[in-house]
């Protein structure tokens, strides 16, 4: 028999859900889950899409051109009206390296909290079990020990085996790594494909400052000029 609620949105499901004791979710639990979903599924990827446009518009021509050539090779392999598929996504290696470098320089999640499950000593500091710890993405993303010339945009950092483990952590690491990593990768690459296939971009405020609220945002917004490719 068809469930009468199966076509409702996730908020509706949480409002009508009750556990084995007949208890409904508390209002603050619903609010926390909705905020987590909004931040995790929209704020982060939209931030990266913004900076992908910014960097493709500002970087040396060869970086945009390499992304364009890779994406056009995929576009030309498709029949008219045929959509991208998973195999196409796997071919976007250079484009993903560019996206990874965008995320390294401007990680949408600045870090997260964890709880110490045992007493331990780190860099001379004694951390008791149960303490809340905050890890920062930029503490390694811009560490010259792991990323030489950390302010330089260099997609080649992600070729081969890429950065050392736990130095590039925009999605966290270990068992608590973001479960949406592959979805985010697909979303970003599909966005890049459709952007560069149609347009070249120019920013009106090149190399502008970046503010944080708490995700990175171009201080003056990102007004761009879209220049259609000639057919």
- In the annotated binding site for heme, the residues are 178
What ranges in 77-146 are assigned the alpha helix state H?
86-90, 93-105, 138-141
Residue keyed to tokens 């952007």: 195
119 touches 127 (CB < 8 A): yes
How many angstroms separate the CA atoms of 160 and 145, rounded? 19
What ranges in the chain are assigned the alpha helix state H?
10-16, 27-38, 44-58, 61-76, 86-90, 93-105, 138-141, 181-198
Closest CA to 128 of 143, 138, 116, 137: 116
For residues 183-201, one letter each, b for 16 or more C-beta atoms within 10 angstroms of the residue's C-beta and e for the rest, the string is ebbebbbebbbebbeebbb
* 3-class DSSP state of 2: coil
Tokens (6 digits) for 203: 């920013």
* 3-class DSSP state of 134: strand
- Which residues neighbour 225 within 8 Å (Cβ) at sequence distance 6 or greater? 201, 202, 203, 204
- Side-chain-side CA neighbours of 171 within 13 Å: the count stands at 15
């Amino acid at each position: 028999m068809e469930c009468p609620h199966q076509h409702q949105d996730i908020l509706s499901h949480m409002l009508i859900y009750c556990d084995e004791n007949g208890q409904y979710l508390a209002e603050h639990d619903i609010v926390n889950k909705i905020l987590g979903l909004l931040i995790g599924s929209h704020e982060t990827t939209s931030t990266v899409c913004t900076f992908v446009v910014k960097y493709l518009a500002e970087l040396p021509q060869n970086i945009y051109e390499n992304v364009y050539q890779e994406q056009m090779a995929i576009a030309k392999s498709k029949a008219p009206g045929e959509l991208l598929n998973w195999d196409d996504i796997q071919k976007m290696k250079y484009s993903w390296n560019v996206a990874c470098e965008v995320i390294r320089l401007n990680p949408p999640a600045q870090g997260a909290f964890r709880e110490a499950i045992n007493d331990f000593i780190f860099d001379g500091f004694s951390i008791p079990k149960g303490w809340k710890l905050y890890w920062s993405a930029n503490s390694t993303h811009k560490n010259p020990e792991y990323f030489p010339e950390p302010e330089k945009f260099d997609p080649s950092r992600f070729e081969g085996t890429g950065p050392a483990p736990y130095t590039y952590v925009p999605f966290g690491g270990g068992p608590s790594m973001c479960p949406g990593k592959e979805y985010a990768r697909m979303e970003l690459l599909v966005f890049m494909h459709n952007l560069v296939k149609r347009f070249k971009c120019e920013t009106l405020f090149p190399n502008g400052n970046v503010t944080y609220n708490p995700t990175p945002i171009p201080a003056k917004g990102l007004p761009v000029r879209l220049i259609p490719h000639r057919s």
